[in-house]
Amino acid sequence: MERQTLRPQIYEVPHKAIRNALSQLTMMSGYTDYNDSQELEKLQNSFKEIFGMLDVHAAHENNVTLKHLESKIGGSSRHDMEDHEKIEADMRSLEKLFSGITEINGDRTAAGIEFYEKLSEFHANYLLHMLEEEQVTQPLVWNNFNDEEILQQETEIRSAIPPGEMLIWCKYLMPAIGDELRIHMLSGIKANAPSEFYDSILKVTESVLSKESFGNLKAKLN
């Protein structure tokens, strides 16, 4: 199907954040010294944070995007739902594998290599899953919902994200998008959310962008 790039894209924002997050996590799992308790703890914290994002994202797709699509075309959600079930099973296996590493009293090098390889495989499969959603499911959404309905689905998803989780998403999203989308998002938050939350989002954004990039963004916002 031809991609209608000027129409709202339900997957664009979360998938850009996830691509960045998984890339960082895979890279981190490759350079971590698994015999250094502090480095292992840092990896564990990132692992929990990013896999938490994936769990939330799958729930949003199942409970909003795929639910609405299923109401239009019976059976249309089955493939993605089954994919999500397999992904969840793979995530739980990786969590079990990592938990086992933390319990090793001796050398953890071999177990760390195994975790890195298994996570890399998961990362590769997840990229393919997202690409399929963008190339197959997104056109189905376009063909069955008008722009207003798609934007309402996006609002439904955003309203289900607590402020603390939104800060985590922004940490991975802001470096992965351009200024046009950053300005659109930040302007919307500034207009509709408490000033304290906007300031928190801006602080996270500053922490993940270069000094030059953040300065240019601030100038455009002002």
Alpha carbon distance 103, 207 (integer Å): 33
Pick the CATH number of 12-161 from 1.20.120.520, 1.10.3720.10, 1.10.10.10, 3.40.190.10: 1.20.120.520
* Tokens linked to 125: 């499969």
Phi, psi of 16, deg, nearest 5: -65, -40
CB 130 within 8 A of CB 11: yes
Name the pTM for this structure: 0.94
Per-residue pLDDT of the chain (222 residues), as tens digits, is 444 558 999 999 999 999 999 999 999 999 999 999 999 999 999 999 999 999 999 999 999 999 999 999 999 999 999 999 999 999 999 999 999 999 999 999 999 999 999 999 999 999 999 999 999 999 999 999 999 999 999 999 999 999 999 999 999 999 999 999 999 999 999 999 999 999 999 999 999 999 999 999 999 998
User: Greatest CA span in the chain, whole angstroms?
Assistant: 58
DSSP type of residue 177: S
Cα torsion 110, 111, 112, 116: sign: positive
Residues of each domain in the chain carrying CATH 1.20.120.520: 12-161
Task: Select from 168, 169, 176, 82 the least CA-distant residue to 129.
Answer: 82
Residue for token pair 């691509």? 19
